């Protein structure tokens, strides 16, 4: 079946550091890939998405590239801020039948001033 | 600019009690979902509704029932609550999940504790 594997957290960084959160997936066919972010006490919000191989999704300084050859969709940001502290979820949606999101377990990011 | 609204935000129940979690969306979306979020397990799909009048089981449906009351509303019912159902519950909606790249929009969650 489909699955998503994320690096365990928490990831602790100082402000302005470079961020990478790893995400790999297992799926039949060519899924769409998503990163969602959850701020404390809130629901999940879509951060970015990519729908085919080599696509790069980007938003708010975050980027992720759909790598079919390595089945990966790693999240990166060049300079994190305290306000980026949140839990980040990688997810996929396959294209067979009724597409349902499959989520990774989430990675907590803590950014200190 | 409400989006997806869930009620209540918090609830404490005793084992064996029943409860209905309410969800409404104002985006005219066709598809709606219920998830539970547990530490270290991400989000797991309980039930979903592809369109008004249809519902289907997700990954973890046991102990739950749902009703798609109309296009806007999708409720989740616990008939006889158990401590294992202590969790944070999220409702979500999407325009039409037949198209795989449609994002889902989430409510702020209901934190449910079963004693």
Residue B58 to residue A99, Cβ atoms within 8 A:
no
Q: For chain A, how big is the Rg over CA atoms in Å?
A: 14
Closest CA to A45 of B107, B28, B88: B107
Instruction: Write out residues 92-111 of B within 8 Å (CB-CB) of A.
Output: 92, 97-101, 103-109
Tell me the CB-side half-sphere exposure of residue A74, using CA atoms within 13 A. Answer: 10
Residue B85 three-state SS:
helix
Q: To probe the interface with A, which of B6, B36, B104, B107 has the most A CB atoms within 10 Å?
A: B104
Closest CA to B103 of A4, A93, A23: A93
At B102 the pLDDT is: 75
The tens digit of pLDDT for each residue in B28-85 reads 999 999 999 998 888 999 999 988 989 999 989 999 999 998 999 999 999 999 999 9
Residue B100 to residue A44, Cβ atoms within 8 A:
no
Per-residue pLDDT of chain A (113 residues; tens, 9 = 90+): 889 999 888 999 999 999 999 999 998 878 889 999 999 888 899 999 998 899 999 999 999 999 999 999 999 999 999 999 999 999 998 766 566 788 999 999 999 99
Nearest to B106 among A44, A94, A105 (CB): A44
> A43 contacts in B (CB within 8 Å)?
4, 90, 92, 106-109
| Residue reference for tokens 């980026």 | A84
């Amino acid at each position: 079946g489909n699955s998503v594997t994320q690096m365990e957290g928490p990831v602790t960084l100082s402000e302005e550091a470079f961020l990478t959160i790893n995400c790999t997936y297992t799926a039949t066919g060519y899924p769409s890939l998503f990163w969602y972010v959850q701020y404390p006490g809130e629901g999940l919000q879509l951060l970015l998405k990519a729908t085919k191989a080599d696509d790069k999704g980007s938003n708010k300084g975050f980027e992720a590239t759909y790598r079919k050859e390595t089945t990966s969709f790693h999240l990166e940001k060049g300079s994190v801020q305290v306000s980026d502290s949140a839990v980040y979820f990688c997810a996929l949606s396959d294209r067979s039948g009724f597409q349902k999101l499959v989520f990774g377990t989430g990675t907590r990011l803590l950014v200190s001033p | 600019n409400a989006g997806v609204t869930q009620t209540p935000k918090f609830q404490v129940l005793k084992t064996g009690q029943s409860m209905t979690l309410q969800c409404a969306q104002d985006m005219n979306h066709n598809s709606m979902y219920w998830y539970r979020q547990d530490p270290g397990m991400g989000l797991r799909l309980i039930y979903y509704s592809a369109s008004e009048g249809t519902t289907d089981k997700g990954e973890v449906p046991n102990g739950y029932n749902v009703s798609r009351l109309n296009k806007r509303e999708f409720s989740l019912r616990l008939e006889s609550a158990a401590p294992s159902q202590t969790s944070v519950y999220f409702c979500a909606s999407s325009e039409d999940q037949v198209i795989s790249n449609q994002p889902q929009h989430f409510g702020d969650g209901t934190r449910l504790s079963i004693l």
